Amino acid sequence: MLHPSDLPWWGWLLCGGGGILVALIAAVMTDRIPARNWLLVWFVGMAAKLTGLIAFAIGIIRFVKWAWT
């Protein structure tokens, strides 16, 4: 069984970049969608941004740990 800790540093960076990309797409879409769906798209964007930044930070930390050894 795989655990998130088995992911290499570059995998964390890719996941973080993907989350940030989803957040950017959601930010662009908030200007182009009907008002009734605006809150849902905003929430998805904020959740993607938060998880993307956390994953990116974990990737940076794991990269520094890998480069240090």
Pair 15, 37: CB distance under 8 Å: no
In the predicted structure, residue 69 carries a pLDDT above the cut 90: no
> According to the model, what pLDDT value does residue 42 have?
85
pTM over 0.85, yes/no: no
Structure token digits, residue 56: 């990116």
> According to the model, what pLDDT value does residue 65 have?
92
> According to the model, what pLDDT value does residue 11 have?
92
Per residue in 14-50, pLDDT (tens digit) is 999 999 999 999 888 877 777 777 888 888 889 999 9
Arithmetic mean of pLDDT, 48-56: 94
